[in-house]
Structure 1
Amino acid sequence: MMRALVLTGPGKAEVLRVPVPVAGPGQVVIEVARAGVCGTDVELFTGEMSYLHSGVSSYPLRPGHEWSGTVREVGPDVDGSWLGRRVTGDTMIGCGHCRRCRSGRHHVCPDRHELGIRDGLAGALAERLAFPAAYLHALPDTVDATAGALVEPAGNAQRCVDAAALEPGERLLVLGTGTIGLLTAMLARGRGLEVHLLGQELDFALSLGFARSWTRDSLPDLPWDAVVDATNAPSMPGLAVDLVEPGRRVVCIGLSGTPSLIDTRDAVLKDVTAVGILGASAGLAPAIAAFASGAVDPRPLVAATVSLEQAAAVLAGDRPASAGPGPKVLIDPAA
């Protein structure tokens, strides 16, 4: 048996002893080194996550989709060279057969699993994880366990930067200074963009070298070549459309708990392209490369690393007493 965090109902989570996974066909078993807690996990814990209401997710549920670890077992049809390798993996697991999967869009496969989110594939907030080998990504020696657990959110951020479609020297405004917003800013800065951040708490962003960090009241009147909304505020997508330069792009990755409103007259008359981002899939390899090269160091974003037994309190909104200023809390299942 092993320890795993189990969500048993809205606002209810406990560490339970569950069977150790066995590598089935096409699978590996991973000893989890670090797992991140993100807003999706919090929504699953509180019961607010839309998947719980649409029926694709249900309790009991084992969360965790941001992780790094080491392969300890391989299935009978899996390349044995994976054994002992340090890895992370894609959250989005497509069926592999449908039209979307065949065209490279497995992250929107109608029958996909989402690790630790949708039913069918238990998550990484556990000592060990069964995972499909086809969706593994190897981690170089220069990417430690902490950075490895930040590859998944960084993959999402990478897709935001790619979707903004800017050239070096152009100006990007990122709405939100949480994990995704800051990773987007870091990756964009590494690409040579002029990065600005809009948020409420700016001290940490400033400490990371983002001198162009603004509140709504102090935001300068500049031409914004692209705007990324990485907030959960329903008013922000409309603000992004209002701020972006005509003929340019708004990228939406944040989700609000209530519907967001965009005046399509503004979008049409400004000829704005709006792009939605779901999942990190296409951004994982570039994110790993950025971490491995040293172009981006995500580790300052980690405020604390705590034990599996402390995960429920983190999901409930408690910040560890020793936490630093960063937005991300990681779990060490072995602690």
Structure 2
Amino acid sequence: MRALVITAPGEAEVREVPVPRARGGEVVVEVEQAGVCGTDLELFHGTLSYVRDGLTTFPIRPGHEWCGRVRSVGAGVDQSWLGRRVVGDTMLGCGRCRRCQSGRHHVCAVRTEIGIRGDQPGALAERLALPASALYAIPEVLSPAAGALVEPGGVALRAVRAAALRGGERVLVLGGGTIGHLCSAFAVAHGATVTVADPRPEALELAGRFGAVGVAPDDLPDEPSFEVVMEASGGPDSAQRAVRLVEPGGHLVLVGLANQPSMVDTRDLVFGDLTVSGLLGASAGLEGVIAWYAAGEVVPDDLVAAVVGLSQVPALFRGERPAQAGSGPKIHVQPSRHG
């Protein structure tokens, strides 16, 4: 089968690789559609912290945002999975430690992250093997775009849950990328009044499609003005700015990851009596996102600017945007597509 392989920092190619077989407890999924994530770009450039820390080594086969259909099952797996449309958890814990046993497998110290950390190949390939325990069924009604946006949606839904929205709150989302817009969409669906700050006009226009108000960062107020601020830009100075914009007693939710240390004056957190949440991964949000999408309460499809084949992904990694791409921040891949 064909799969994308990052062979070294700055180098990627499509290769013929062996078709995976489902071992005990595993399934093999035919990948319908997969997303190219900012994490994949960091892997390509070698800037991801896991690379620096030796937790990820090359070559690596990326891809962790996907949907597909189960084509084979290994020993011990319920046969009813065969033929079902699914998505999967990226985070695979050891299953034995206290974190895993308490439902925190996404922060297991020895976890594997599909297509990111460890030796579990990712979904930018025609087929993908993974444990059946990581599967979530999705309905046929979901578009391929929505299916492949379940994983980033899980991060966003966790962010909204962390903010404990009850309706009526003023929420600011810093960053109009995929995660930022999904945070905005779920916050709107929870009854909040949402502002998205981003310097790009196309991001501000897209914010309006999800029910938010888009503003340029320079147009934000200088004083605390929002009960909740979600930092989704990953800018190194954005977290400290977020702190200054949260109303006393409010929530600061951190989902963006900067490529360098983000400095925050903890005195501002204390004097503001702020609740601060940092979120890693989508695990606890996946089931909820599927329900929201399936009900049509959040429709994420406008985030996808183009759908390409595997052969075009190396060019994407080098910064080339597909011809005729729309304004959305996300590029999707159909591994079965040639050309």
- The TM-score with structure 1 as length reference comes to 0.98
- The number of residue pairs the alignment matches comes to 334
Match of 1:208 in 2: 209
Given candidates 285, 288, 291, the residue that maps to 1:289 is 291
Matches for 1:316-335 after TM superposition, within 5 Å? 316-335=318-337
Q: 1:155 to 1:211 in 2, by over 3 A?
A: closer
How far is 1:98 from its partner? Answer: 0.3
Is the 1:302–1:326 contact (alpha carbons within 8 Å) kept by the matching residues of 2? yes
Task: Tell me the distance in 2 between the aligned counterparts of 1:16 and 1:7.
Answer: 10
Given candidates 252, 256, 259, the residue that maps to 1:257 is 259
Matches for 1:1-335 after TM superposition, within 5 Å? 2-203=1-202, 204-210=205-211, 212-220=213-221, 223-335=225-337
Task: Tell me the distance in 2 between the aligned counterparts of 1:229 and 1:176.
Answer: 7
Task: Tell me the distance in 2 between the aligned counterparts of 1:224 and 1:278.
Answer: 23
Task: Tell me the distance in 1 between the aligned counterparts of 2:159 and 2:125.
Answer: 29
| Percent of paired sites with the same residue | 54
Residue deviations 1:150-180 (CA, integer Å, cap 9, x gap)? 0000000001111111211111110000000
Task: Tell me the distance in 2 between the aligned counterparts of 1:316 and 1:331.
Answer: 16
Task: Tell me the distance in 2 between the aligned counterparts of 1:191 and 1:252.
Answer: 19
How far is 1:206 from its partner? Answer: 4.5
Question: Is the partner of 1:251 in helix, strand or coil?
Answer: strand
Letter in 2 for 1:292: A
How far is 1:144 from its partner? Answer: 2.1
Task: Tell me the distance in 2 between the aligned counterparts of 1:213 and 1:86.
Answer: 35
Task: Tell me the distance in 2 between the aligned counterparts of 1:206 and 1:90.
Answer: 27
Task: Tell me the distance in 2 between the aligned counterparts of 1:43 and 1:276.
Answer: 20
Structure 2's unaligned 5+ residue stretches are none
Q: CA RMSD in A?
A: 1.1
Is the 2:36–2:331 contact (alpha carbons within 8 Å) kept by the matching residues of 1? yes
Task: Tell me the distance in 1 between the aligned counterparts of 2:271 and 2:210.
Answer: 36
Is the 2:206–2:328 contact (alpha carbons within 8 Å) kept by the matching residues of 1? no
Is the 2:208–2:214 contact (alpha carbons within 8 Å) kept by the matching residues of 1? no
How far is 1:223 from its partner? Answer: 2.6
Letter in 2 for 1:255: L
Task: Tell me the distance in 1 between the aligned counterparts of 2:17 and 2:11.
Answer: 17
Is the 1:177–1:202 contact (alpha carbons within 8 Å) kept by the matching residues of 2? no
Is the 2:159–2:183 contact (alpha carbons within 8 Å) kept by the matching residues of 1? yes
Q: 1:27 to 1:241 in 2, by over 3 A?
A: same
Task: Tell me the distance in 2 between the aligned counterparts of 1:48 and 1:28.
Answer: 31
How far is 1:211 from its partner? Answer: 5.2
Residue deviations 1:51-96 (CA, integer Å, cap 9, x gap)? 0111110000000000000000000110000000000010001111
Is the 2:9–2:44 contact (alpha carbons within 8 Å) kept by the matching residues of 1? yes
Task: Tell me the distance in 1 between the aligned counterparts of 2:334 and 2:149.
Answer: 14
Q: 1:173 to 1:5 in 2, by over 3 A?
A: same
Structure 1's unaligned 5+ residue stretches are none
Q: 1:90 to 1:211 in 2, by over 3 A?
A: closer
